[in-house]
Amino acid sequence: MDSNKKLGLVGRNISYSFSKKFFENKFQKLMLKGISYDIFDLKEIDEVENLFSQPEVLGFNVTIPYKEKIIDYLDELSEEAEKIGAVNCVLIQNGKKTGYNTDAVGFEKTLLLHKKEHHLSALILGNGGAAKAVKYVLDKNGIPSEIISRNSILNFDNLSTEMVQDHKLIIQTTPVGTFPNINDCLKFPFEGLSKQHLVIDLIYNPNYTRFIINASEKGAKTVNGYYMLEQQAEKAWEIWNFQKK
């Protein structure tokens, strides 16, 4: 491999990210030299043009709040990314910038690992890029879902206990409660939860968000975003495919 090649993560306020350590450990295990994984903390999405002008950058992951905004800067989307309308992995090959969505793979693996027969319908909390990947996976698996966001007809102010009782699968896709704001929590009728519920919070730092703690206190089975993160990162690695370069 040519020396001094770069991968990285594009987002805003992302110093907490697990990705750098994850990929640096992978480089070490595979004994890859001359490649680094950097944090590209961008105040505005148009700053991504600086990355595209650097020939040593081979690709990058994309996180909040740029999973949708990055699309305007790419040449092509994978079929899945196009259907979802969000990108969290970019490959730069021969000057061509292609966007992929590996969140879908990561979420689907998480869902299928924990889903039971009675998890027949879902509430998706949030409507950003991650929520779009979640909706895509739920649709693919025949699970009807409702989106709850600040601006939707069904929102955090009018979400009822009965609605929560009727949807045994809850997926929290917003950044509320992420480190360092670990005491923050979405407004949510936790009293609607039961032992029949599966609550997946896509946040991985901290391990247990206030949302997950509140849900587990009501008896719900809870899962954080760490496994999803690992799986989407492995899929990104497969896309970049450096082992064969």
What's the rounded Cα separation, in Å, for the pair 66 and 16?
17
**Whether the bond into 65 is cis, omega within 30 of 0:** yes
Is 187 an annotated catalytic residue? no
Give residues with Cβ within 8 angstroms of 134, minimum separation 6.
103, 107, 124, 145, 171, 173, 202
DSSP 90: E
Alpha helices in 183-225 (DSSP H): 210-217
C-beta separation of 183 from 160 below 8 A:
no
Q: Which of 6, 20, 33, 67 is catalytic?
A: 67
Catalytic residue IDs: 67
